[in-house]
Amino acid sequence: MQAEPALIAEGRQTDEPDVSAAEEHEEHLSGPEVRRRAISGAATDAMRGFGIRVLAFFGAAVLARQLSPADFGIVAVGQTFLTFGLFLSDGGIAAALIRRTTAPTRMDLKAFLWLQLSLTIVLVALCAVVMIPFGLIGEVTSVMLLSLPVSAFQVPSTILLERRLNYRTLAVTDLFSTVAYYVWAITTVSLGWGVWGLASAGVVRGVAGTIFLLVVFPPGRMIPWPSLARVRPLLGFGFRYQASNLLALLRDQAINLTVALVGGVSDLGLYNMAYRIYQVPLLLFNSLWRVSFPGMSRLVAAREDMRATVERVLGVVAVAAGVLLAPLAASARDLVPALLGEQWAGAAPVIPPVCLTIMVAAPVSVALVGYLWAIGDAGAVLRSTWLQIPFLLAVLVPLLPVIGVAAVGYGTLAAGAVESVVLIRAARKHLEFTIMPRLGPPTACAIVAALVGGLCSWSMSAPHFLAALTGAVVAAAVYLGLLAIWHRSYLTDAIALGSRGLRGAPRPGKTGSTEGSLSA
């Protein structure tokens, strides 16, 4: 039996004079429509991520010819402060508003906008006071942080669009602001602004993105209004949500610090290069993670059969994971030196165990983290995050002097296993579902395919690129062939959903609702 989720409408107020009844108008999406939008949204967000990375690559290539490594280092310091500023200013309240069963009113959104705007202004002022005495680094950081208050005006629109699962508007906004960033940066650096061109480009990106989003999405236009009574009930969930993200950030930094202290700077360089490589398949999973939360929230609110949804997500994501990860694991030994040179060959051993980690943990995480957040159990997600760290270090520290940087891969494997176990146990308190029939066959097929493809590439005396290509093709063929025999229903389901998502982003007008349906 599915347990009744403990859902509450946090901070719900009905006494504002400009709102009639308990909630403003919002699209009421059926289960099939939520699923359709989630599929298209994941495809749209993945293409957005790919497009932004392509723009970033070419933009950085142009800027690298005009700026020094020291200039990029100064901007990197500012980017670190900017990342933490974005993290601290949100407080997880946006996530709390996204997961609510009832639509947030304009007064709710105005109160949150007031809170975030106030926090960002305070953060900018404090950082300016602290950092400016440090000279150029402090001055550049202070300028970059000015984008925080400007970008705060995008948040109400983002919340409403995420609740509608309309990722096309968000994707176009991100692409537009990224283009504005690089056009401004390249132009001003060419005119002799130096590092200031790159620093000010961040502010231009915030202004361009905010203006664009408010023009194309009128319901997001609003003036901040102070009301602690409206945001206070959201803080409990919000803090646990943000704490999970903070611990994930600290976990990644713990890996870097441990590798540097135990293995040395060279090992850290190898690991960071491997990290850049396996971030490519993670593009897809990042999009699925992003869409999973609002999608699950809408399905829970509609009282859909969550067991069927969770099990289908597990199976389909596992199938998709193997398509990407088996070829990567099989070809890693030759792919790394083919792309980067022989001096980077030591980064390759990290990739296969990390691929196995993603193969097992990503489907569980995509299916269950969004569900647990949707029913308000952010504490379980928090536990799954902090418990990873001691297990990761327990494997990483003793293995690092023995097998080198490959120990990071086995450490992440231990961490992923712990995360999966905690998430499964927590979700089963609310919902009965099966794991192995959906996750087991794709994982077994991916392992066999990676081994066969790897053996083929290792046995060749051909150049690295040809050997890597052979290993990847063989692994993909073996994986798909085994799935067609053993797990055909989920293979065809994954193909159907993937093709459906690639046919285009959701069209909100099709449901009879429009962007302006929220009352003023």
What integer pLDDT is reported at residue 289 of this predicted model?
82
Nearest CA to 517 out of 157, 20, 25 is that of: 25
Half-sphere exposure of 50 (CA within 13 A, CB side): 10
CB-based contacts of 450, cutoff 8 Å, min separation 6: 325, 326, 327, 329, 330, 352, 355, 475
DSSP state letter for 263: I
What integer pLDDT is reported at residue 81 of this predicted model?
83
What integer pLDDT is reported at residue 268 of this predicted model?
83
What integer pLDDT is reported at residue 91 of this predicted model?
58
Query: What does the alpha-carbon distance between residue 234 and residue 255 come to, in Å, rounded to a whole number?
Result: 32
Which tokens go with 175? Answer: 């692409």
Orientation of helix 155-163 relative to helix 167-190, angle to 10°:
150
What integer pLDDT is reported at residue 90 of this predicted model?
63
What integer pLDDT is reported at residue 474 of this predicted model?
96
| pTM (two decimals) | 0.75
In which residue are the tokens 């099709």 written?
510
**Contact by Cβ (8 Å): 9, 1:** no
Query: What does the alpha-carbon distance between residue 466 and residue 460 come to, in Å, rounded to a whole number?
Result: 9
| Range list of β-strands (E), 183-240 | none
CA distances from 53 to 144, 220, 256, 358 (A): 20, 27, 23, 21
Tens-binned pLDDT, residue by residue, of the chain (520 aa): 334 333 333 333 434 444 433 344 456 666 677 877 877 887 788 888 888 888 887 888 788 788 887 887 788 778 878 877 777 666 567 777 877 777 888 898 999 899 889 989 998 999 889 888 888 888 998 999 999 999 999 989 998 998 888 888 999 999 999 999 999 999 999 999 988 998 999 999 999 999 999 999 999 999 999 988 888 887 777 778 778 878 887 888 788 888 888 888 788 888 888 888 888 888 778 888 888 888 888 888 778 888 988 998 898 899 989 999 999 999 999 998 888 788 888 889 999 999 999 999 999 999 999 899 888 888 898 899 899 999 999 999 999 999 998 999 999 999 999 999 999 999 999 999 999 988 999 999 999 999 999 999 888 877 888 999 999 999 999 999 999 988 788 788 777 776 766 665 444 444 333 333 332 2
Query: What does the alpha-carbon distance between residue 436 and residue 325 come to, in Å, rounded to a whole number?
Result: 19
The amino acid occupying position 81 is: F
Q: Is 461 helix (H, G, I), strand (E, B) or coil?
A: coil
- Burial zone of 38 (CB within 10 Å; 0-12 exposed, 13-18 middle, 19+ buried): buried
What integer pLDDT is reported at residue 96 of this predicted model?
75
Which tokens go with 131? Answer: 């950092």
Half-sphere exposure of 166 (CA within 13 A, CB side): 24
- Burial zone of 364 (CB within 10 Å; 0-12 exposed, 13-18 middle, 19+ buried): buried
What integer pLDDT is reported at residue 518 of this predicted model?
30
What integer pLDDT is reported at residue 503 of this predicted model?
61
Angle in degrees, CA 426, 430, 432, rounded to 5:
95
Angle in degrees, CA 271, 246, 406, rounded to 5:
20
- φ/ψ region of 115 (left if φ > 0, alpha if ψ in -120 to 50, else beta) reads alpha
What integer pLDDT is reported at residue 234 of this predicted model?
79
Rg (CA), the chain: 24
CB-based contacts of 19, cutoff 8 Å, min separation 6: 105, 106, 107, 519
CA distances from 74 to 34, 120, 142, 337, 518 (A): 44, 21, 12, 30, 43
Which tokens go with 501? Answer: 């998502």
Angle in degrees, CA 224, 226, 231, rounded to 5:
100
Which tokens go with 83? Answer: 């990342």
Q: Report the greatest alpha carbon distance in the chain.
A: 77
**Contact by Cβ (8 Å): 222, 106:** yes
**Contact by Cβ (8 Å): 324, 279:** no
Q: How many helices (H) and strands (E) does the chain have?
A: 20, 0
